[in-house]
Chains A and B, each alone.
Chain A
Amino acid sequence: MIASTESPRTNFSLSRGLLDVGIAVLAFVLVCAALNALLPFPEIDVVSAELRFFKEHRDEFDTVFIGSSRIHHQISPAIFDRVMGEAGHPTRTFNFGINGMFPPESGYVLERLLSTKPRLKWVFIELDELETRRIPKAEASRRSLYWHDWKRTSLVLRKILDGDDQRDARDLFFFHTALFAKNFANIGRKIDLSWWISHLGKKTAAPKSLGRDGDGYVPQIKTMSEAEAVAYEAGLKRAVVQAELRRVSPSTERAYRQWADDVRKAGATPIFLITPTRAQTKFEFRPESGVAGAVMPFNDAKGYPQLYRNEIRVDADHLNETGAEEFTRLIADTLSRLINDGRIQ
C-alpha cells in the first residue's frame, strides 16, 4: 500500500522537475537500447527458424535468393544449381523467400543473414517498392513489429512523407512510429526470453518452410480455374497496355543502395530480381542513385511470354511448380550469359 504520506515539497521548481523528467527519459532510452542489444533475436514465425537454419548451414551455400512468396514458391535451388553447373558456374543455392516478406522487412532479414558471415557469391534480392501499407490481419502481429528498427522505420517514414497520396500519410506515419516505439521499448519481449531459456542447449528441428529438399523452396501445385484464367488474361491484357518504365521512389532507392553496399561488403554481388507478376511496371534506379547491381526484370509478358501462360500459373502473381522450374532455368541462363559476357562478375 502506498499512501500519500510525503510532506509538502517547498522547494519545487519547474526547472528541477524538467531535469528529473529528462533524467528519467534518458535512463529509459538507455536501458531500452541496452536491452534491445542484449535480448535474443525475436522468435518470429518462419523467419527466425530459417535464419537459425541458415546460420548453422551458412558454409554450404554461396547463392541466396531473398524476397517474398514470389521467391519462396518460384525459385528452385536444385534446378538453378544444375543449370549453373552445366554452364560452368557451379553454385550452391538457398531460397530465403518468405511469404509476405517485402522490403524493408526483406532488407532487415538480409542484414541478419549477412551478419552470420556467410561466404556468398551471389545475392538475388527481389526488387519492389518499399511496403508502407497497413495489412489489417497482420498489423498487430510480432511479424510486423520486429523489423521496425530506426534504419528501417526512417526509410518507411521518409517514403510516406515523400508520397503523393497524403490521405493516409498521417495515419501511416503514426502507425509506423508506434511500431518503432514498441519495438524499441522491447514491449512483450519476455516471450523471446522464455523461448530462448527453454531452448537453451536444445537443437531445434528444421522448419517445414524449407521444403522437401531443405533448400527453402516450396512449389505450388495448383493451377488456375477457368474463371480465374479468364480474369487473369483480361487483367494481363490491361496491364500490358499500361506497361511503363518507372523509377523507384527515392526512399526505396536509398534502401536498395544500403543493401547492395552490405552485400558487396560481404564479398558477394547483388542482383535485383523482378518476378513475373501481372503488373508490367518495370522499376529502374536513377543512374545517379549509386545502386550498383544488375536488374533482372521478368515481369514482361511480351519479352517472356512463356512465363505468362495460364497453365503454369497459380494466380496473377505466382507460378506453379512447372512455371517455377521454367522461371528458375531462365534466371540461371540469364546469369550465366551475363557472366560469360563479362557484364557481371
Chain B
Amino acid sequence: MLFVEFRFLWFFLAVFCVYWSLRENRSRKIWLLLCSYFFYAAWDWRFLFLLMASSALDYFVGMMLARTKNPVTRRGWLILSLCANLGTLAFFKYFNFFVSSAAELLAWLGLPASVHTLNIILPVGISFYTFHSMSYTIDVYRGKMRAVSSLLDVAAFIGFFPQMVAGPIVRASAFLPQLQSLRKFSVVDVRGALVLFLVGFVKKACIADGVAPIVDKYFDSPAAYSASSAWLGVLLYGIQIYCDFSGYTDMAIASARLLGYELPVNFRFPYLARNVADFWHRWHISLSTWLRDYLYIPLGGNRGNRWFVARNIMLTMMLGGLWHGGAWTFVIWGTLHGIMLVLHRQWSEWETRPARLATIVDWIAWPLTVYWICITWIFFRATDLNHAGVIAKSFVFWQSAGTRDIGIRMIWIVVLLGIVHRLNARGVFSAWWRRGSSEAFAAGYGCSVALVLVFIPAKYTPFIYFQF
C-alpha cells in the first residue's frame, strides 16, 4: 500500500477516525499497532513475523539491560541485539552481494569457486525498521533512556506505519515518550499536516513519477544519448530521487502529525547546499544523524589526528552507502561522498578567505556542490560499474557517440523546479495558506486536490527508497 494510492486514503481515514474516537492511550496504541501490521501485511504478510520478532527481541534485550548493571553482561545483551538485527539485515540484503563478491575476488586471485546465490526477497523497509529497533537497545545500553516495560510500546514504535517502510529513521528516545502520553486532537496542526501531505503527494506523484519515464529511458541506454542529454538525464534523476524520497517523507510526517505524533525532519532543501558537509545536514537527515551518533562517534568521531578522522569519515560514508543496498555502486557512492567530506574538512581548516570574497566563493561553491552530487547520483542509479562508467564519461568529459536527445523543454522544467525550490526555501509558500477561515481553507484544499490529480500519471512508480 503506497501513500499515493486511493486505498491508502480509505485506510488512513479508518485509522484516523477510530484512533481519535478511542479515549484510552492503550487502546489507541493497540489500534495503531494492528493498523501498522495490516499496512505492512498488505505488501507481504510473511515478513510481518520478522518485524514482530525484531520488536520482541529488542523489547526483551531492553528489559535485560534494565535488570543488570554488570557491564560485561550488558555488553553481551547489546551484542546479541546488534548481531540479531544486523545479521537479519545482512542475510536479506547482503548475502548474495557478499557471496558473489567473494567469488569474484577468488577468481581474480586465480582460485575460481563455484558459488550459489539465493533467490531472496528483500522485506520492504527492513533497513529502516532495523535502525529504529537498534536505536532503542543502543540508547538503553548507553543509559540515554530507560527500558520500556511495555512490549506494546516498543512494537508500536518499531512498526508505526507512517515511518516503518521508508523512514524518517526515528529514534526511540524521541518517539517512545510521545507514545506514552495521550495525544490531544486540539493541539494537532491539521491544516499544516494536510498541506504537507498534499505537497508530498505533488512531489511524488506529479514531479518524481512525471520525470521517471524520461530518466528510465536515459538510464536504460545511456550510450544512445548525447552528452547534453546525459546532463539532463542525471539532473532529472537528482530531481526524481529528491521529490520521490522527500515526498514520501512529507506524507509520512503529515500522516503521523494527523495522529498526534511528530517525526523528525528529513530534508532541508538539499540542493541549496554549498558544500558536501552542508548537503548531509540537509539530505536524509535522520540517516546522517543516526550514522553520526551510532557509528561515526563510536568509531572515534572527530577525536584524534586528521588521518584517524578521515578514516572514520570514510568508514561511515562507505557503510552508509552500503546501507542503501548490496552493490559496489552504492559503496562507491558513499566513498565519493566520504572523499569530498574529508577534502572539505581540510579545506575548511586551511581556508582563510577575506570576508568580501565569501559571497563569491559561496556562489561558486553551490554549482560545484550540485555538480558533485550529480556525479555521485550516477553511481547511485547505475545498475553496475560499467553502466556508471558510460554515464560518467558522458557527464564529466562530454564524450558520447549517442545522438538521441531528451528534449530541450526539459531544461525549462529543471529551471522552474529550481526556482520553486529556492522560493520555498525562502519561505514564500510557507504561511499564506494559514490565513483565512477554515471553510475557505477546506474549499481551497478540495479544489487543489482536484487540480493536482490531473497532473499525476495514470500509473505510479514505486518509491525509490522502498528497495532499501
Q: Footprint of B on A, CB under 8 Å?
A: 1-6, 8-10, 12, 16, 19-21, 23-29, 31-32, 35, 39, 140, 142, 145, 178, 181, 185-191, 193
Known: A21-B442, A27-B447. A35 touches B454 (CB 8 A): yes
Contact of A8 among B186, B195, B451, B455 (CB under 8 A): B186
Q: Which of B424-444 contact A (CB under 8 A)?
A: 424, 430, 434, 438-439, 441-444
Which A residues touch B442, using CB under 8 A?
20-21, 23-24, 27
Contact call A2/B199, Cβ cutoff below 8 A: yes
Which single residue of chain A is at the shortest CB-CB distance from B198? Answer: A2
Contact call B6/A181, Cβ cutoff below 8 A: yes
Contact call B454/A189, Cβ cutoff below 8 A: yes
Contact call B6/A4, Cβ cutoff below 8 A: no
Contact call A6/B192, Cβ cutoff below 8 A: yes
Which A residues touch B184, using CB under 8 A?
8
Which B residues touch A8, using CB under 8 A?
184, 186-187
Q: Which of B192-207 contact A (CB under 8 A)?
A: 192-193, 195-196, 199
26 of the cross-chain contacts (CB-CB < 8 Å) are: A1-B269, A2-B192, A2-B195, A4-B193, A5-B189, A5-B192, A6-B189, A8-B184, A9-B186, A9-B187, A10-B186, A12-B185, A12-B186, A20-B441, A23-B439, A24-B445, A24-B446, A27-B442, A27-B445, A32-B450, A35-B454, A140-B459, A185-B450, A186-B450, A187-B456, A191-B458
- A9 and B430 CA atoms in complex are apart in Å by 19
Which A residues touch B458, using CB under 8 A?
140, 142, 145, 187-188, 191
Contact call A23/B446, Cβ cutoff below 8 A: yes
B268, CB-defined interface residue at 8 Å: yes
CB distance from B247 to the nearest CB of A (A): 13
How many pairs of A and B residues are in contact by the CB < 8 Å rule?
Answer: 100
* Residue picked from B430, B441, B445, B454, most chain A C-beta under 10 Å: B454
Contact call B430/A2, Cβ cutoff below 8 A: yes
**8 cross-chain pairs, A with B, having the tightest CB-CB distances, nearest first:** A27-B446, A31-B450, A6-B189, A28-B446, A188-B458, A24-B446, A20-B442, A23-B442
CB distance from B291 to the nearest CB of A (A): 22
Apart from the given pairs A3-B192, A188-B457, 15 other A-B contacts in the complex at a CB distance below 8 Å: A1-B265, A1-B269, A2-B430, A4-B189, A9-B186, A10-B186, A12-B186, A20-B438, A23-B439, A31-B450, A35-B450, A35-B454, A185-B453, A186-B454, A189-B454
- A27 and B445 CA atoms in complex are apart in Å by 8
Contact call A28/B192, Cβ cutoff below 8 A: no
B257, CB-defined interface residue at 8 Å: yes
* Residue picked from A1, A9, A10, A189, most chain B C-beta under 10 Å: A1
Which single residue of chain B is at the shortest CB-CB distance from A193? Answer: B454
Contact of B446 among A2, A9, A31 (CB under 8 A): A31
Q: Which of B11-31 contact A (CB under 8 A)?
A: none
CB distance from A15 to the nearest CB of B (A): 12
Known: A31-B450, A35-B454. A24 touches B443 (CB 8 A): yes
CB distance from B2 to the nearest CB of A (A): 14
Which single residue of chain A is at the shortest CB-CB distance from B254? Answer: A2
Q: How would residues 174 to 191 of chain B score, 1 for a CB under 8 Å from any chain A CB and 0 otherwise?
A: 000000000011110111
- A238 and B193 CA atoms in complex are apart in Å by 64
B262, CB-defined interface residue at 8 Å: yes
Known: A12-B186, A31-B446, A188-B458. A6 touches B453 (CB 8 A): no
Which A residues touch B446, using CB under 8 A?
23-29, 31
- A326 and B351 CA atoms in complex are apart in Å by 90
Known: A1-B268, A4-B192, A12-B186. A27 touches B443 (CB 8 A): yes
Which B residues touch A5, using CB under 8 A?
189, 192
Which A residues touch B451, using CB under 8 A?
31, 35
Contact call A190/B455, Cβ cutoff below 8 A: yes
Contact call B453/A187, Cβ cutoff below 8 A: yes
Report the interface size for chain B: residues with CB under 8 A from the other chain. Answer: 41
Which B residues touch A190, using CB under 8 A?
454-456
Contact call A28/B189, Cβ cutoff below 8 A: no
B297, CB-defined interface residue at 8 Å: no
CB distance from A177 to the nearest CB of B (A): 11
Which A residues touch B185, using CB under 8 A?
12
- A19 and B444 CA atoms in complex are apart in Å by 14
Which B residues touch A4, using CB under 8 A?
189, 192-193, 257, 262
B449, CB-defined interface residue at 8 Å: yes
Which A residues touch B439, using CB under 8 A?
19-20, 23
CB distance from A140 to the nearest CB of B (A): 7
Q: How would residues 245 to 261 of chain B score, 1 for a CB under 8 Å from any chain A CB and 0 otherwise?
A: 00000100000010000
CB distance from A300 to the nearest CB of B (A): 42
Contact call A28/B450, Cβ cutoff below 8 A: yes
CB distance from B211 to the nearest CB of A (A): 13
CB distance from A34 to the nearest CB of B (A): 8
- A12 and B438 CA atoms in complex are apart in Å by 11
CB distance from B436 to the nearest CB of A (A): 12
Which B residues touch A140, using CB under 8 A?
458-459
Which A residues touch B441, using CB under 8 A?
20
- A32 and B448 CA atoms in complex are apart in Å by 10
CB distance from B218 to the nearest CB of A (A): 20
Contact call B449/A2, Cβ cutoff below 8 A: no
CB distance from A244 to the nearest CB of B (A): 41
- A26 and B185 CA atoms in complex are apart in Å by 24
Which A residues touch B262, using CB under 8 A?
4
CB distance from B443 to the nearest CB of A (A): 4
Contact call A31/B189, Cβ cutoff below 8 A: no
Which single residue of chain B is at the shortest CB-CB distance from A23? Answer: B442
- A140 and B459 CA atoms in complex are apart in Å by 8
Contact call B453/A186, Cβ cutoff below 8 A: yes
Which B residues touch A28, using CB under 8 A?
446-447, 449-450
* Residue picked from A2, A35, A189, A190, most chain B C-beta under 10 Å: A2
- A35 and B446 CA atoms in complex are apart in Å by 13
* Residue picked from B184, B424, B443, most chain A C-beta under 10 Å: B443
CB distance from A18 to the nearest CB of B (A): 11
- A193 and B446 CA atoms in complex are apart in Å by 21
Which B residues touch A187, using CB under 8 A?
453-454, 456, 458
Known: A3-B192, A9-B186, A20-B438. A178 touches B450 (CB 8 A): no
CB distance from A32 to the nearest CB of B (A): 5
* Residue picked from B195, B438, B442, B449, most chain A C-beta under 10 Å: B442
CB distance from A48 to the nearest CB of B (A): 16
- A20 and B194 CA atoms in complex are apart in Å by 13
- A33 and B193 CA atoms in complex are apart in Å by 27
Contact call A1/B186, Cβ cutoff below 8 A: no
- A252 and B221 CA atoms in complex are apart in Å by 50
CB distance from B453 to the nearest CB of A (A): 5
Contact of B438 among A16, A181, A186 (CB under 8 A): A16
Which B residues touch A26, using CB under 8 A?
443, 446
Contact call B456/A188, Cβ cutoff below 8 A: yes
Contact call B454/A39, Cβ cutoff below 8 A: yes
- A19 and B438 CA atoms in complex are apart in Å by 10
- A1 and B445 CA atoms in complex are apart in Å by 18
Which B residues touch A24, using CB under 8 A?
442-443, 445-446, 449
CB distance from B214 to the nearest CB of A (A): 13
Q: How would residues 197 to 227 of chain B score, 1 for a CB under 8 Å from any chain A CB and 0 otherwise?
A: 0010000000000000000000000000000
Which single residue of chain B is at the shortest CB-CB distance from A39? Answer: B454
